[in-house]
Amino acid sequence: MSQGTISLTWLGHATFALRSVAGKRLIIDPWVMGNPACPQELKQVEGVDILLCTHGHFDHIGDAVEIARRHKPKVVGIFELCHWMGRKGVENTFAMNKGGTVEIDGISVTMVHADHSCGILEDDGSIVYGGEGVGYVVRFENGFKLYHAGDTALFGDMKLIGELYRPDIALLPIGDLYTMSPREAAYALRLLGVKRVIPMHFGTFPALTGTPEALREAASDIEGLEVIALRPGQTINLP
Ligand code: NI
Ligand code: MN
């Protein structure tokens, strides 16, 4: 299908660092310093070309402003979240909305629906409107497509995401409480039609009870499904 290699490192929770076929460095939902799942030696993010934010909850943008100020990546997020980050000193924002696609450095990023809230907690304890939670379909230089669902409940239009974008791999939350549990994530896999999934957003806190084993069990009817259960800090090469 596709030539070249993409490397993907799970930094724990919903945070992923990727290196594209052409060597572009991406980070999705950067939360490292306060992330109890992120290995100590990976908390210092070295360099970033493209930074994607699915929504404004602290466990997704906890280090976004700091990393963006330091490394000056291109920052993608929904309009209101980009506006908020801009006021915090973040440059080079690509403010967009669901259904849109941007091309950045040869990589295409499509913002898709997620079913989740998006209030931003300010330092003074107030919550400001941050738009809505979203997911992304990232298409790399070689045509490989990765779907990061963000935080989300199950929704029927995952079927459309599957049909329209045909992701090669899905990163799905399974922790329960704030997102899908393994039961809903298994249903999501049927809608998406993907055969490879990396579970995320589980185990970070005791309340996030979903496990990859439970996902395997719930999705055992899906022929050829590969549940890739990473350890935080682990790197794999794709495809
Ligand atoms: Ni959230
Ligand atoms: Mn979250």
Q: What are the beta bridge partners of residue 121? A: 127
Tell me the CA–centroid distance for residue 58 and ligand 1, in Å: 8
Tell me the CA–centroid distance for residue 161 and ligand 1, in Å: 20
| 167-201 per-position pLDDT tens digit | 999 999 999 999 999 999 999 999 999 999 999 99
Q: What is the pLDDT of residue 3?
A: 80
Tell me the CA–centroid distance for residue 1 and ligand 2, in Å: 33
| 1-46 per-position pLDDT tens digit | 568 899 999 999 999 999 999 999 999 999 999 999 999 999 999 8
Tell me the CA–centroid distance for residue 55 and ligand 2, in Å: 8
| Ligand closest in space to the Cα of 114 | 1
Q: Which residues contact 68 (CB under 8 A, 6 or more apart)?
A: 48, 51, 75, 85, 90, 91, 92
Which pLDDT band holds residue 211 (cuts at 50, 70, 90)? very high
Contact 50, 138 (CB under 8 A): no
Tell me the CA–centroid distance for residue 115 and ligand 1, in Å: 10
Tell me the CA–centroid distance for residue 3 and ligand 2, in Å: 33
Q: What is the pLDDT of residue 2?
A: 62
Around ion ligand 2, residues with a beta carbon closer than 5 Å are 59, 151
Q: What is the pLDDT of residue 55?
A: 98
Percent of the chain with pLDDT over 90: 98
Tell me the CA–centroid distance for residue 97 and ligand 2, in Å: 19
| 88-103 per-position pLDDT tens digit | 999 999 999 999 999 9
| Mean predicted confidence (pLDDT) in 210-227 | 98
Average pLDDT, the chain: 97
Q: What is the pLDDT of residue 128?
A: 97
Q: Which residues contact 23 (CB under 8 A, 6 or more apart)?
A: none
| 137-167 per-position pLDDT tens digit | 999 999 999 999 999 999 999 999 999 999 9
Q: Which token pair is 95?
A: 């403010």
| DSSP secondary structure letters along 123-172 | TTS-EE-----EEEEEE-TTS-EEEE--S----TTHHHHHHHH--SEEEE
| 48-71 per-position pLDDT tens digit | 999 999 999 999 999 999 999 999
| Ligand closest in space to the Cα of 13 | 2
Q: Which residue has the tokens 């806190």?
A: 205
Contact 215, 199 (CB under 8 A): yes
Percent of the chain with pLDDT over 70: 99
Tell me the CA–centroid distance for residue 57 and ligand 1, in Å: 5
| Ligand closest in space to the Cα of 59 | 2
